[in-house]
C-alpha cells in the first residue's frame, strides 16, 4: 500500500521532479541478489517506488530512462579522504563516488558540506570529522592538541557544537587524554574512529568503544611491530570482531606506497588520471610523496612488500569473520586520485579475498549502516536517497563496470555519459 501511495504521489509530480528508470536490473545491496526487470520512480531526490516493470506505471510527465540491459547500484562511498580543493568534487561524481567522508575537517570543509547539502555547490555528499585529536609532536598543522583530560573533553564538546559529524583520533595521545575524548564523544553522541595511539595500544582501543579503526597498517604495527607472524591473525580478527568495531583498510594507499618505494613514483604520476588531477594535488605529490621515492626490490614470494601483504591477509580474514569493512583511499596521499582510487580500492579488496558483493557492500550499505544512516542511503529501496549508478553489466560478475558509469543520479539529478566524462576530466557541470 505504501508503494502504491508513493507511486501515486509521483504521478502528480511535474516533469522536473520525476525520473523513471524503466525495466532495469537492480542490485539493492540488501543481499547478494539481482532484481530483474524493475522500474524505479524518483521524485524530490528520493526513490518513491520500486517494483516489477509490468506493475509500476511511469508518469507521462516523467523523464524516462530506458534501463533495458543495464544495472542500477547505490552510489559509492570513499570513507577516508583528506579533501584539498573543490576541484576534486567533479572527479568523485564522475567516477560514481557520491558520498565522501573527510577525516580531518575544518570550518571550510563544514561550509562545503553544508553548501553541497543545500544545493549551492556541486559535489558528492560530504561527511566531515573534526580536526584530528592528536599529540603535540604530530607534524600536521590542522589538529587539536589536548594536553589534559579536561582539555580533551572541551575539544570534543567544541567539535560537536561546531557541527562536525564525528571525532578523529590520531597518534600521540596519552591514555588519560584518549579516555577523556572517548567519554566525551559518547556523552555528546558523536561517532569516533581513528588510529591506535601507542600509549593506548590495540586492546585499549578495542575496549574503548571507539566505532572504527582506520588503516590496517596501524593494526599490524600495534599487534606485531616489525615481527610479522601469520599465526597472530586469527586472534587479531577475533578481538576486533568481539569489539564490534568496523575497519577501513585503505589497502590501495599501501599498495601505491609500495610502488613508490620500489621505483614506481614516475609511473604513478604519469597515469592519465594523475595527469588530469587538480594542480594542487600534483603539487602535494611533488612536495610530499616524492620524498618517499626508493628503489627497494621486493623479496621473493612477496606481492607488494611483507608489511602490505600482511594487511591483505588480515582484510580477507576480517571479511570472512563478518567484521564490517569500509572502502577508503586516504587520498591525496601517495598519488591517489579522487574517484579513480576508490575503484582501485575495490579491486584490492577482491584481491584480499572478498567477494565482489562484499567489496561493493563495503562501499554502499556498510558505511550507511555503521554510521546509523541505513534508512537514508546505501541501498536501492523506497525512501532512500536517489544517489545511484547505472552501469552496463552486472558488478557482481565484474566490479570494473563501475569505473565508467553510463549515468549517475545525484539527489535525483541525472548526469549522462558525456557529462560524466567531462567530470572525470575535472569539469564541474553547469548548475541546474
Given CA atoms 221, 229, 330, 245 in this order, what sign does their dihedral have?
negative
Euclidean distance between CA atoms 272 and 251, whole angstroms: 21
Residue 68 and residue 93 share a domain:
no
Asked whether residue 146 is domain-assigned, the answer is yes
Q: What is the CATH number of the domain that holds 56?
A: 2.30.40.10
From CA 353, how far away is CA 345, in angstroms rounded? Answer: 13
Task: Please indicate, yes or no, whether residues 271 and 354 belong to a single structural domain of this protein.
Answer: yes
pTM for this entry: 0.95
Q: Does residue 89 share a domain with residue 67?
A: no
Report whether 39 contacts 24 (CB < 8 A). yes
322 & 227 share domain:
yes
Domain with 147, as residue range(s), is: 76-370
Rounded Cα distance between 380 and 393, Å, is: 17
> What is the structure's pLDDT at 3?
45
Closest CA to 393 of 31, 28, 34: 34
For residue 260, being part of any structural domain is answered with yes
319 and 294 both lie in a single domain: yes
Of 339, 370, 401, which residue sits at a domain end? 370
Would you write out the chain's pLDDT as a tens digit for each of its 432 residues?
A: 444 444 444 444 444 589 999 999 999 999 999 999 999 999 999 999 999 999 999 999 999 999 999 999 999 999 999 999 999 999 999 999 999 999 999 999 999 999 999 999 999 999 999 999 999 999 989 999 999 999 999 999 999 999 999 999 999 999 999 999 999 999 999 999 999 999 999 999 999 999 999 999 999 999 999 999 999 999 999 999 999 999 999 999 999 999 999 999 999 999 999 999 999 999 999 999 999 999 988 788 899 999 999 999 999 999 999 999 999 999 999 999 999 999 999 999 999 999 999 999 999 999 999 999 999 999 999 999 999 999 999 999 999 999 999 999 999 999 999 999 999 999 999 866
Q: In what order do the strands lie in the sheet with 125-128?
A: 76-81, 97-102, 125-128
Residue 229, classified by CB atoms within 10 Å of its CB into exposed (0-12), middle (13-18) or buried (19+), is: exposed
Residues 326 and 389 in one domain: no
pLDDT confidence of residue 58: 94
Residue 271 in any domain: the answer is: yes
**Do 88 and 156 reside in the same domain of the chain?**
yes
Same structural domain, 414 and 356: no
425 phi/psi in degrees, rounded to 5: -95, 5
Q: What cell numbers appear for 350 in the block?
A: 577482491
CA atoms of 20 and 7, how far apart (whole Å): 11
Q: Which of 352, 370, 388 is the last residue of a domain?
A: 370
C-alpha cell at 362: 563495503
Q: Do both 272 and 349 map to the same domain?
A: yes
pLDDT of residue 432: 60
Within-domain flag for 429:
no
Number of domains in the chain: 2
Residue 423: φ, ψ to 5°: -65, -40
Amino acid at each position: 500500500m505504501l508503494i502504491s501511495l508513493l507511486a501515486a504521489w509521483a504521478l502528480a509530480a511535474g516533469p522536473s521532479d520525476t525520473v523513471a528508470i524503466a525495466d532495469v536490473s537492480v542490485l539493492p545491496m540488501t543481499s547478494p541478489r539481482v532484481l530483474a526487470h524493475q522500474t524505479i520512480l524518483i521524485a524530490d531526490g528520493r526513490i518513491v517506488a520500486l517494483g516489477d516493470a509490468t506493475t509500476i506505471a511511469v508518469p507521462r510527465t516523467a523523464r524516462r530512462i530506458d534501463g533495458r540491459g543495464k544495472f542500477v547500484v547505490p552510489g559509492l562511498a570513499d570513507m577516508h579522504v583528506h579533501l584539498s580543493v573543490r576541484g576534486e568534487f567533479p572527479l568523485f561524481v564522475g567516477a560514481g563516488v557520491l558520498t565522501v567522508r573527510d577525516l580531518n575537517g575544518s570550518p571550510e570543509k563544514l561550509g562545503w558540506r553544508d553548501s553541497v547539502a543545500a544545493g549551492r555547490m556541486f559535489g558528492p555528499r560530504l561527511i566531515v570529522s573534526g580536526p584530528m585529536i592528536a599529540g603535540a609532536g604530530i607534524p600536521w598543522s590542522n589538529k587539536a592538541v589536548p594536553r589534559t583530560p579536561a582539555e580533551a573533553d572541551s575539544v570534543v564538546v567544541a567539535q560537536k557544537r561546531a557541527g562536525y559529524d564525528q571525532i578523529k583520533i590520531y597518534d600521540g595521545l596519552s591514555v588519560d587524554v584518549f579516555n577523556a575524548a572517548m567519554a566525551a564523544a559518547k556523552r555528546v553522541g558523536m561517532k569516533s574512529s581513528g588510529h591506535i595511539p601507542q600509549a593506548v595500544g590495540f586492546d585499549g582501543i578495542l575496549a574503548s568503544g571507539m566505532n572504527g579503526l582506520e588503516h590496517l597498517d596501524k593494526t599490524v604495527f600495534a599487534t606485531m611491530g616489525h615481527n610479522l607472524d601469520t599465526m597472530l591473525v586469527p586472534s587479531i580478527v577475533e578481538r576486533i570482531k568481539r569489539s564490534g568495531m568496523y575497519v577501513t583498510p585503505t589497502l590501495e594507499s599501501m599498495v601505491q606506497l609500495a610502488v613508490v618505494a620500489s621505483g614506481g613514483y614516475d609511473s604513478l604520476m604519469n597515469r592519465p588520471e594523475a595527469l588530469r588531477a587538480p594542480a594542487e594535488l600534483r603539487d602535494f605529490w611533488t612536495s610530499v610523496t616524492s620524498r618517499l621515492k626508493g628503489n627497494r626490490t621486493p623479496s621473493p614470494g612477496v606481492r607488494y612488500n611483507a608489511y602490505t601483504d600482511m594487511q591483505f591477509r588480515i582484510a580477507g580474514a576480517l571479511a570472512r569473520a563478518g567484521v564490517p569493512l569500509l572502502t577508503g583511499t586516504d587520498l591525496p596521499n601517495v598519488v591517489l586520485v579522487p574517484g579513480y582510487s576508490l575503484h582501485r580500492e575495490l579491486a584490492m579488496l577482491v584481491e584480499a579475498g572478498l567477494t565482489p558483493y562484499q567489496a561493493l557492500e563495503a562501499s554502499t550499505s556498510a558505511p550507511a549502516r555503521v554510521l546509523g544512516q541505513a534508512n537514508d542511503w546505501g541501498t536501492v529501496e523506497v525512501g532512500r536517497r536517489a544517489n545511484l549508478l547505472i552501469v552496463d553489466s552486472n558488478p557482481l560478475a565484474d566490479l570494473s563496470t563501475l569505473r565508467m558509469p553510463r549515468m549517475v543520479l545525484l539527489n535525483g539529478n541525472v548526469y549522462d555519459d558525456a557529462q560524466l566524462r567531462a567530470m572525470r576530466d575535472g569539469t564541474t557541470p553547469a548548475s541546474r
